[in-house]
Structure 1
Amino acid sequence: MLRPDPAQRPPRLAKIRDNLKDRIAEAEREGRLGEIEGLQVSLAGAEQNLAQLDAERARSQRVIDLGMPSFAQIAGGFDYPDPYAAAGDERWETTETTPAERATARADVACQKSAQSVKVWAAAETRIQHRLIQQNTGRLHKAKARKDRWLAAARRVLDREGRTHDRHHASDQ
């Protein structure tokens, strides 16, 4: 399923919502009562989509404190906001590594070791994955059952083709 990027709330969806409100008001003025209910269902769907996008955007913009010191705190003397910014520094776009680049790389490794960032990251990722598995157990079981049915059908076709292939070559002898 395609989903819009919540950071770029589609203006078209807000226009659709506004248009539905206008159409409901028009239908009420003109007494088209049968049309109103369908438009209200569509409006509720559009508003729900907008609310989901807004909630998703709010979640994605939330900063989570992992209790880790910043790159600048650990790697003293560097003013990068994070190690990823250091990796993207234009000064490193050279054919040979420079002393400054090596010093930055050493500070980055020291930072990661000191903050145990790999361990923290892996633990956080594991918790997220376990939670998602628990929240989606039913859907995952259905997906597995569907995959098992597809594989069984593919095996039947291959078995049938294999027998046909064997019979065909047996008549050549």
Structure 2
Amino acid sequence: MGGATFPTAVKLDPGKPIKTLIINGAECEPYITCDDRLMLNFPDKVIDGIRILQYLLGAEECLIGIEDNKPEAILAMRQALRNQDTAEVVRIPTHYPSGGEKQLIRILTGKEVPSAGLPAQLGIICHNVGTAAAIADAVLTGRPLISRLVTVTGEGVAQPCNLEVLMAPLQAS
């Protein structure tokens, strides 16, 4: 569900021990607010997905990186954690491109992913809040991934908003 479209299935079977799960609550581009809205409206679902991801990966800790321009999302996620000692919401500076996987890993852990490497080499896996919510839907309610929140904004948009949109298969042309 993150912008890079790296397959979640690959990240769930890294072939290496994972110590740290990082949840990306930082928007990948300026003006996008769909992850913020997801954390505000469905923090418990995101946390349920995080718990499932931690279990599947055997991750000892989880760092949830959220930009400091999203104080309501930070509060909602902290409240949803209910003092869970294996996960922590970390307020990060709002600087583009903080939402990039390698940049977020460096901000949260101080570790640098090699240019041709993967985070799993460092014992780290990174997932987006949308992925966590989708995993909670699939595992806890049996709901398949058929939609996602998207931000519609820009100079040509009269009323910027976030919409839940259905995914459709690509049609051959």
TM-score (norm 2): 0.18
Higher percent of residues as strand: 2
- Say which structure, 1 or 2, has more relative contact order (CA 8 Å, 6+ apart): 2
TM-score (norm 1): 0.18
Higher percent of residues as helix: 1
Q: Which has the larger Rg?
A: 1
